[in-house]
Amino acid sequence: MTVRPLQSVWRFSRNELSGKPGAVHLTHRKRSGLTQGEVAFLLGARHKTKVSDYEQHTRRPMLETALAYEAMFGVPVRELFAGMFDEVESTTHRRAQILARKLSTASRTRLTARKLDLLSQITSGSGSEPVHQP
């Protein structure tokens, strides 16, 4: 039996997914008909309180939990936890800018140039596409 992600069953408008950063996974859970207890079971959590905490933004999910949400609903983690992603992306951009300033004072080698190129991509990117290096 093939299990299809819930994303293929429900389509959401931007208005339905806007608002609080956790609105996406909350909306998917409610549309699925799953209770917090049932989602907790699928996540491997002992109590539905964890699901409530994720939905109320009082707890940040571990990577395994975030990936379980993605597996459940067929929606990328960065969309399910958009607010958290935005925070992490912003912090990473600031750190990349700091590192680029430090490296720009170093001697110019091919390696330094490659690093500066990557850091430039990180800081100028919209965050919509991951940066891959060959």
Domain total of the chain: 2
- The pLDDT tens digits of the residues spanning 104-129 come to 998 889 999 999 999 999 998 744 55
Residues 89 and 105 in one domain: yes
Residues 75 and 11 in one domain: yes
Q: What is the DSSP string of 53-109?
A: HHHHTSSPPPHHHHHHHHHHH---HHHHTHHHHHHHHHHHHHHHHHHHHHHHTS---
Residue 65 within a domain: yes
> Mean pLDDT for the chain?
80
Question: Against a cut of 0.75, is the pTM above it?
Answer: no
Residue 2 within a domain: no
* CATH (domain of 61): 1.10.260.40
Residues 11 and 55 in one domain: yes
Residue 41 within a domain: yes
Residues 15 and 36 in one domain: yes
Low-confidence residues of the chain: pLDDT under 50: 1-19, 21, 126-127
Helices and strands per DSSP (H, E), number in the chain: 8, 0
Q: What's the pLDDT at 23?
A: 64
State the residue for tokens 């093939």. 2
The residue range of the domain holding 40 is 7-80
